[in-house]
Chains A and B, each alone.
Chain A
Amino acid sequence: MREDRGADIVNVQFKKGVLELCVLVLTIKTDRYGYELVSAISEKFEIAEGTIYPLLRRLTKEGYFSTYLMESREGPPRKYYRLTEQGKSYAEELIAEWKSFERSVNKIIEEGTPYDSTKLSSEN
């Protein structure tokens, strides 16, 4: 329908991958409940907040999260997400992938930006 549909799709796929990484990383140090995860991410970049929950369900089904309910001070219990051992190693895998991706993009930017490339050659 729209000309930029292709670009949108790449964008969506990219965002989804990044969201998966973020959700996993946010639970490495501590178990978190859904709202906490959503707001931690939506503080940093714009998302349709409702999309985090299908993602959490999928990651739980795939065995990367286990869930449990815990009472909150404010009222009814909340569902907490805990990273499983499998989830931890998956998170590490994704982090490594992201870092190598980031390095590659940085390299392209450095090589493509005249100012930065002269700075780079003077540093070497």
Chain B
Amino acid sequence: MTAQNFLQKIEVFLRRLPPDERKDILSDYEEHIRTAVEMGRTEEQAIHALGDPKTIAKAITADYYIGVADATKSPKSVFRAIIASVSLGFFNLLIVIPPSIAFCAAFLALFVASLALILSPLIAIYCLVEGYGVSVIFTSLLTLGLGLFLFSISSWIVKKVFTQWFVRYLKLNIRIAGGGIQ
């Protein structure tokens, strides 16, 4: 593999990263190969010692997305980080998938529950039409309030607590199974 070849491969495997970030990483490896040649190694030797470009790029991508998830704590960035970690290998798949499902399920459950409560006045209107007393309206207003409350609470929990916990878990996981060290 030539230096150009190696750098091209890294570039392709890093396509999901922002261009600035990618350029930065490529220049690191460019500098490394150049210096190695200055120090008397051949290009081939230097590249062989660097290791598999795909493995390196995957580790960098996962690191990057976990960094983003850590900084923004948004569910979207966490899902991206999950996907990037999963792509690191089969072992990770087993470790990452169960808590990911739990994460999604918890998020979904809270969301559905609060949605149901928010929509409860519709049921009250139906009840009224069916001839039940006016009191259902008050009850439904109460549940509506409860739904809104639950919704804001659940989004807060997902944002702060879950994401933080999950990002930490992913980081640990990356440190154990990830990285390009064979």
- Chain A residues close to B by CB (< 8 Å): 1, 5, 9, 12-13, 15-16, 19, 33-35, 38-39, 42, 47-51, 53-54, 56-58, 61, 74-76, 78-79
List 22 A–B pairs whose Cβ atoms lie within 8 Å, in order of A's numbering: A5-B91, A9-B91, A12-B176, A12-B177, A16-B181, A33-B31, A33-B35, A48-B52, A48-B180, A48-B181, A48-B182, A50-B50, A50-B52, A50-B55, A51-B56, A57-B28, A57-B63, A58-B63, A61-B67, A75-B38, A76-B31, A78-B35
Decide if B29 is an interface residue (CB 8 Å cutoff): yes
Is B31 touching A34 in the complex (CB atoms < 8 A)? yes
Residue among B39, B90, B180 facing the most chain A CB atoms (10 A cut-off)? B180
- With A9-B176, A48-B182 as known contacts, state yes or no: A34 contacts B63, CB within 8 Å: no
Contact indicator A34/B32 (Cβ below 8 Å): yes
Which residues does chain B contribute within 8 Å of A34, judged by CB atoms? 28, 31-32, 35
Instruction: Contacts A5-B91, A35-B39, A78-B35 given; indicate if A51 touches B177 (C-beta within 8 A).
Output: no
- Separation of A50 and B90 alpha carbons in the complex (Å): 22
Residues in chain B near residue A47, CB distance under 8 A? 181
Q: Are A16's CB and B63's CB within 8 A?
A: no
Residues of A within 8 Å of B180, CB to CB, are 48, 50-51, 54
Least Cβ–Cβ distance between B172 and chain A, in angstroms: 10
Contact B39 A51 (CB under 8 A): no
Q: Are B32 and A9 in contact (CB under 8 A)?
A: no
Q: How far is the CA of A9 from the CA of B50 in the complex (A)?
A: 20
Give Cα A74–Cα B39 distance, bound, in whole angstroms: 10
Asked if B59 and A51 make an inter-chain contact with CB atoms under 8 angstroms apart, the answer reads yes
Query: Count the A-B residue pairs with Cβ separation under 8 angstroms: how many?
Result: 86
Interchain CB contact under 8 A, B91 and A51: no
6 further interface pairs, Cβ-Cβ under 8 Å (given A34-B32, A48-B182, A61-B67)? A35-B36, A48-B49, A50-B55, A54-B179, A75-B38, A79-B31
Chain B contact residues, CB within 8 Å of chain A: 25, 27-29, 31-32, 34-36, 38-39, 49-53, 55-56, 59-60, 63, 67, 90-91, 175-177, 179-182
Q: Is the CB of A54 within 8 A of B59?
A: yes
- Nearest CB in chain A to that of B10: its residue: A50
Do B179 and A12 touch (CB < 8 A)? yes
List chain A residues, Cβ under 8 A from B182.
48
B35 touches A54 (CB 8 A): no
Residues of B within 8 A of A19 (CB): 181
Q: Judge whether B176 and A49 touch: CB under 8 Å.
A: no
Across the A-B interface, give the 7 residue pairs with the lowest CB-CB distance, nearest first. Answer: A48-B51, A50-B50, A35-B35, A51-B180, A50-B51, A50-B56, A49-B49
Q: Hey, which chain A residues are within 8 Å of B52, CB to CB? A: 48, 50
Cβ B181 vs Cβ A15 within 8 A: yes
Scoring A12, A33, A50 by chain B CB atoms within 10 A of each residue's CB, the highest score goes to A50
* Neighbouring A residues of B53 by C-beta, 8 Å: 50
Please state if A38 and B32 are interface contacts (CB–CB under 8 Å): yes
